[in-house]
């Protein structure tokens, strides 16, 4: 699917034509530069490599500098490949937020906020075990039994237990585009998207 790279600015709310208050996310989308054009003849498939957000030269290897020099652009912090563009683009072209239209639906993927090591109540929504009285001692947020004893004599794979939470790639699908602001490269979508403020996200049609 065709798409662009963006940066999550934050959340706000808008009123629709019926006066309903809609929670929405503001994303700075593009401008993205075509840093490489993949073709079936050379690479075996058709795709566009897009770069977003300039990066200082001192943090870039010599090989990467040559790669971006071919496209006539500065080194980029985020690079993603996309397929399915209807238009023809060549090396060095710029694609802006005008690629999207108000009212259409998009998928947004990014890395979720890291929560660290969490217990089963927060990580999996467990209700806790037992009561808070009648001699109950420090077991309110415990997971309970994780399996039988002599048979099967092991813990099954996938058992919901405490562990690392968040910091995973997440895709939120079918978010409606509420507003496009071309002069500020902003895209406003209904609902929330993964990641913290200023996190990079990928928006696909």
Can you give the CATH number for the domain in which 60 is found? 2.40.30.10
Range of 31's domain? 3-112+169-204
For residues 4 and 187, is the Cβ–Cβ distance under 8 A?
A: no
The total number of structural domains that make up the chain: 1
Structural domain contains residue 142: no
CA gyration radius, the chain: 23
Residue of 84, 88, 86, 103 lying closest to 34 (CA atoms): 88
Structural domain contains residue 197: yes
Beta strand pairing call for 47-54 and 3-15? unpaired
Structural domain contains residue 138: no
**Mean pLDDT for back-to-back runs of 10 residues, the chain (205 residues):** 93 93 95 94 94 92 93 94 90 93 96 96 88 78 90 94 96 96 96 96 95
The model's pTM: 0.86
């Amino acid at each position: 699917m065709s798409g662009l790279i963006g940066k999550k600015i934050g959340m706000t709310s808008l009123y629709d034509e019926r006066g309903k208050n809609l929670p929405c996310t503001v994303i700075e989308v593009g401008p993205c530069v075509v840093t490489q054009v993949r073709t079936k003849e050379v690479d075996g498939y058709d795709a566009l490599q897009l770069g977003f957000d300039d990066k200082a030269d001192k943090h870039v290897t010599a090989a990467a500098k040559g790669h971006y020099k071919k496209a006539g652009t500065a080194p980029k912090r985020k690079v993603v490949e996309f397929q399915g563009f209807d238009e023809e683009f060549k090396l060095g072209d710029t694609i802006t937020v005008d690629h999207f239209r108000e009212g259409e639906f998009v998928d947004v993927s990014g890395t979720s906020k890291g929560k660290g090591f969490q217990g089963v109540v927060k990580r999996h929504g467990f209700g806790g075990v037992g009561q808070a009285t009648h001699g109950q001692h420090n077991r309110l947020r415990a997971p309970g039994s994780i399996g039988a004893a002599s048979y099967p004599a092991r813990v099954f794979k996938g058992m919901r237990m405490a562990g690392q939470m968040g910091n995973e790639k997440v895709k939120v699908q079918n978010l409606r585009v509420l507003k496009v602001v071309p002069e500020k490269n902003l895209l406003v979508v209904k609902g929330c998207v993964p990641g913290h403020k200023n996190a990079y996200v990928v928006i696909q049609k």
